[in-house]
Amino acid sequence: MISSSALLILVVFSALVFDYINGFHDTANAIATSVSTRALTPRRAIIIAAIMNFVGALVSSGVAQTIAKDIVNPLYVTQEIVLAALLGAIFWNLLTWYYGIPSSSSHAIIGGMIGAAIAKLGVSVLQYKGILKIVAALIISPIIGFILGFIIMKTLYFIFGDMAPSKVNQGFRKMQVISASALAFNHGANDAQKAMGIITMALIASGLQDPSNLNPALWVKFSCALAMALGTAAGGWRIIRTMGGKIFKLEPINGFAADLTSSIVIWTATAFPGLHLPVSTTHIVSGSIMGVGSAKRISAVRWGVAQQMAFAWVVTIPTSALTSFLFYKVLNFLFL
């Protein structure tokens, strides 16, 4: 048997590991376009992304509250459920990172919570309304990214279409520094809150936080922000190659349009009153790149790669749910 305090420490540690992995797993989202267009060197891009991820992670807590209350009823959550959910999500993130597949950490942790909760308590504890709202946001947001990316890119072509390509590229390389920074900020503002919400659930389960208070403690915010920033600094070069060049050959103007589009969609989901939805930065950036590429011409997008990515997106929630279900059963048998 593991004591309650030891289990809580293990859960917090696992949540920070998940956040760290989320950082290097999703680093590509913020910097792939600027690196692939040579607007930034890889080293400088990662430093900027790490700093902006850290700052973004400290600015809001609405998404953390959504994670804490809208997937599983917080009154029934145990530390064992949280631990199994984290282990399943970590496993899936590492597996997709190894193969260079830009899958969603958001999908992984949501699927993990669902699978672990079912393993412990059955389907009755699931918050179906909240889950449907979150899943709808995860599905709709990349579609919005595609459409908005298409519109923004068409607008930029209309404005700058008569200018010399070399002059346009030179100007937008500088603009990409700003757009990449904004995207890294928004990534931190949304993604780091997922780990904050998970730790908050564990604190409630251990009796150290009132169930009526879903705001993450200051130390939780800071530690999650730091873990994500350190993970971002570690980089995720396998996924950067996929995001930066395999979907669509990017020029600086395309990279700027994709980053701007992604920032708008993520910030709306994070901070718009009444939303505070966890969305997938990976999905949104990918959708934005596809939309930007389609604005040039449909055939410019490598739809075969996009199809492989879409398959990974679809299977992430059920696979991570099954993995976390099995993790819970194994942990329960061996230690709990």
Which pair of structure tokens corresponds to residue 238? 């396998």
User: Who contacts 262 (Cβ-Cβ below 8 Å, separation ≥6)?
Assistant: 29, 145, 183, 186, 281, 284, 285, 288
Could you tell me the pTM of the whole model? 0.87
pLDDT under 70 in the chain at which residues? Answer: 1-2, 27-29, 102, 235-249, 300, 302, 304-306, 308-309, 335-336
pLDDT of residue 327: 95
Q: Write the DSSP assignment of 271-295 as a string of letters.
A: HSTTT-----HHHHHHHHHHHHHHH
Alpha-helical regions (H) of 209-298: 218-234, 237-241, 252-271, 281-296
CA-wise closest residue to 123 among 67, 198, 89, 73: 73
pLDDT of residue 334: 77
Beta-carbon count within 10 A of 266 CB: 28
Q: What is the pLDDT of residues 13-63, one digit of tens each?
A: 999 999 998 887 776 667 777 877 778 877 788 888 889 989 998 887 889
pLDDT of residue 89: 93
DSSP classification of residue 39: S
| Phi–psi pair at 67, nearest 5 degrees | -60, -40
